[in-house]
Amino acid sequence: MNRLLASTCLMFGLLGGASLANAAECGSVTIASMNWQSAEVLSNLDKIILNEGYGCSADITVGDTVPTITSMAEKGQPDIAPEAWIDLLPDVVKKGTEAGQIIQVGSPLPDGGVQGWWIPKYLADAHPDLKTIPDMLKHPELVPDAEDSKKGAIFNGPQGWGGTVVTSQLYKAFAGEKAGFTLVDTGSAAGLDGAIAKAYERQQGFATYYWAPTALLGKYAMVKLDPGVPHDSAEWKRCNTVADCPDPKPNAWPVDKVVTLVAKPFSEKVGPEVMSYLEKRSWSNDTVGKLMAWMTENQASGEDGAKHFLKENKDIWTKWVSPEAAEKIEASL
């Protein structure tokens, strides 16, 4: 009995030592949570997986794109920015990379950040010829203006949004008014969402500016219209994004590149299993959109959303982690 007790104590001592070693190898981790839903749930997902699966001591720090990426590029803190939209700050990211402060590790959203003009899927299914913006502009009767059914309508975002400026410029570029369309100012983010939800619930035809991944597109199946032209970055900067530019040309929305940024000092001290996880960890816009829709409907926090995803999507996340980590994470739920 004494030998059995000694052996058992030795075994638990070794396991405890291994756990402490893993924690020491990973150590404390600061994870940036940006102030939008997909970034919030991803930062909480990373926190749970790193803490439960790899013995880290991870905490979340709330920030926004500009201050977070700037701080990482200049100071190497925080350690991880799970969802960094780097096209917003290309010069800062380039400078931080060249200075050896940050590295890009995979992409949490390989589909990229997608903006454009969308129509409901039921409308696209009923009219398979509606594939491009020019296609839609030939049929104002399919997306009627609530104020004047003889005209078509395109819902726009509120003033102050970059997407609102671009939509206004593309409306001019594609000669929307000449085609018999009205550009509808929905007044606010809530107004835009409300206009879409109202039309969708009534199964009405409509066209709108929107972007993915979002909770709304996770709830309502939508199809993005192809602009029918390639993206011209020079023209995009010259006129499509400039509110008072008088002569915009038809153009395609660029796909925003989204990566995970890691502070280089952290990448050099942490174990290879943690870096492997961060490199592999990614989900589709459809997956995260549906998760955000669930969060919105249930008034769930980022932590709630992360736990829900882990419980319901084992087939996805277990491919990101080691079998040992997967077992620990599942046991913690």
| Boundary residue ending a domain (255, 283, 299) | 255
Please tell me whether residues 102 and 133 are part of one structural domain: no
Between β-strands 152-156 and 181-185, what pairing exists: parallel, antiparallel or unpaired? parallel
Assign residue 155 the CATH number of its domain: 3.40.190.100
Please tell me whether residues 100 and 219 are part of one structural domain: no
- Is the pLDDT at 19 greater than 70? The verdict is no
On the question of a cis peptide bond just before residue 213, with omega within 30 degrees of 0, the verdict is: yes
- pLDDT > 70 fraction of the chain, expressed in percent and rounded: 93
Q: What is the pLDDT of residue 8?
A: 39
Assign residue 40 the CATH number of its domain: 3.40.190.10
Q: What is the pLDDT of residue 87?
A: 87
190 lies in some domain: yes
Number of helices (H), then strands (E), in the chain: 17, 10
Please tell me whether residues 153 and 71 are part of one structural domain: no
Least confident of 58-67, 182-191, 277-286: 58-67
Total number of domains constituting the chain: 2
Please tell me the distance from the alpha carbon of residue 64 to that of residue 94, in angstroms, as a whole number.
19
23 lies in some domain: no
322 lies in some domain: yes
Give CA separation, 220 vs 118, 199, 288, in Å: 11, 11, 13
234 lies in some domain: yes
307 lies in some domain: yes
Question: How many Å from the N-terminal Cα to the C-terminal Cα in the chain?
Answer: 35
Question: Scanning the structure block, which residue is given the tokens 């997306």?
Answer: 143
Q: What is the pLDDT of residue 7?
A: 41
Six-digit token pair at 309?
A: 């995803």
Please tell me whether residues 317 and 296 are part of one structural domain: yes
Write out pLDDT tens, residues 291-330: 999 999 999 999 999 999 999 999 999 999 999 999 999 9
Q: What mean pLDDT is reported for the chain?
A: 92
Please tell me whether residues 165 and 205 are part of one structural domain: yes
| Boundary residue ending a domain (232, 255, 278) | 255
Please tell me whether residues 204 and 245 are part of one structural domain: yes
Q: What is the pLDDT of residue 23?
A: 44
Nearest Cα to 305, choosing from 326, 320, 291, 286?
291
Confidence category of residue 88, pLDDT binned at 50, 70, 90: confident
Please tell me the distance from the alpha carbon of residue 309 to that of residue 41, in angstroms, as a whole number.
9
21 lies in some domain: no
Question: Scanning the structure block, which residue is given the tokens 């499509």?
Answer: 240
16 lies in some domain: no
Please tell me whether residues 251 and 269 are part of one structural domain: no
78 lies in some domain: yes
- Is the pLDDT at 72 greater than 50? The verdict is yes
Write out pLDDT tens, residues 194-242: 999 999 999 999 999 999 999 999 999 999 999 999 999 999 999 999 9
Nearest Cα to 303, choosing from 45, 71, 52?
45
SS (H, E, C) 63-95: CCHHHHHHHHHHHCCCCEEEEEEHHHCHHHHHH
Give the mean model confidence (pLDDT) for residues 36-57.
97
Please tell me whether residues 119 and 106 are part of one structural domain: no
| Boundary residue ending a domain (255, 288, 320) | 255
- Is the pLDDT at 192 greater than 60? The verdict is yes
For residue 279, what are the domain limits?
Answer: 28-111+257-332
Give the mean model confidence (pLDDT) for residues 22-41.
85
